[in-house]
Amino acid sequence: MRVGDCAVASGEAAAAGMVDIATLAPGIDLDIRYSGSHNFTGAPVDGYEAPRCYLLRPAAEALARVELALRRDGRRLRIFDCYRPMRAVRSFVRWASDPTDQSTKAAYYPDIDKHALLGGYISERSGHSRGATVDLTLLRCEADRCEALDMGTPFDFFDARANTDHPGTEPEVRRNRELLRTAMEEAGFANYPMEWWHYTLEPEPAPATFHDFPVR
């Protein structure tokens, strides 16, 4: 795997300056997809030994502020992914390079050739491995019941329809995406325009350091 001239660090979360978001926002909804089979690979992903969300402390504190502010308004976050080990990124590349496994095509990449995912959607490096990027959606809650807002596509849907400002987006979906973006931007996160779910704290605390310790 190419890492260019970026520093590559390894070690456990605390040594890397990361914290578990659940310690700052108890009860936050975690749906860490890569720790199970409900993801575009169809299987648990290398490096995900537990469904936890680790982030560098500044990013975790900012995300906790978003969650607490949303709770006052009857909304919450649902977290799909946070820190991502480099070994997981490598496993994505291997998966995308295997043309024989098409088991998740209908659900995640119905209109694109699997090999074409490399480069545009799946890269040899991921900002998630730096510890300040999070994938998430928005919930509407009443009493003890929460439901996900309609964002137009599933998480990790490889299609232009997942672009945050896709021109064909329905009005309700556009409003829901904007609610999420506004909440995140108020805490210092910036959206990746190709994916409505993807946000990075700016400026990043450690923009040149990629980590590879497992999530456990």
pLDDT digits (tens, 9 = 90+) for 120-134: 899 999 999 999 999
115 vs 7, more confident: 115
- On the question of a cis peptide bond just before residue 205, with omega within 30 degrees of 0, the verdict is no
| Residue 110 belongs to some domain of the structure | yes
DSSP state of 44: P
- Whole-number pLDDT of residue 1: 26
Band of residue 81 on the pLDDT scale cut at 50, 70, 90:
very high
- Whole-number pLDDT of residue 143: 84
CATH at residue 185: 3.30.1380.10
- As a whole number of angstroms, the distance between CA 6 and CA 4 comes to 6
| Residue 114 belongs to some domain of the structure | yes
Those residues whose C-beta lies under 8 Å from the C-beta of residue 152, and which sit 6 or more positions away, are 161, 162, 166, 169, 170, 173, 177, 196
Q: Which residue has the tokens 């040899």?
A: 124
Q: Are 73 and 81 in contact (CB under 8 A)?
A: no
Rg (CA), the chain: 17
- Whole-number pLDDT of residue 141: 96
- Whole-number pLDDT of residue 6: 43
| Residue 144 belongs to some domain of the structure | yes
- Whole-number pLDDT of residue 120: 85
Find the length of the chain.
Answer: 216
Catalytic residue among 142, 195, 202, 204: 195
- Whole-number pLDDT of residue 37: 98
Q: Assign residue 156 a region: left if phi > 0, alpha if psi is -120 to 50, beta otherwise?
A: left
- As a whole number of angstroms, the distance between CA 12 and CA 85 comes to 11
Number of domains in the chain: 1
Amino acid occupying residue 178: E
| Residue 41 belongs to some domain of the structure | yes
| Residue 84 belongs to some domain of the structure | yes
Give the mean pLDDT of 34-49.
98
Band of residue 5 on the pLDDT scale cut at 50, 70, 90:
very low
Annotated active-site residue 142? The verdict is: no
DSSP state of 192: -
In this structure, of 31-40, 61-70, 136-145, 158-167, the range with the lowest mean pLDDT score is 136-145
Domain that holds residue 173: 7-211
| Residue 2 belongs to some domain of the structure | no
pLDDT tens track for 91-142:
999 999 999 999 999 999 999 999 999 988 999 999 999 999 999 999 999 9
What's the whole-model pTM score? 0.94
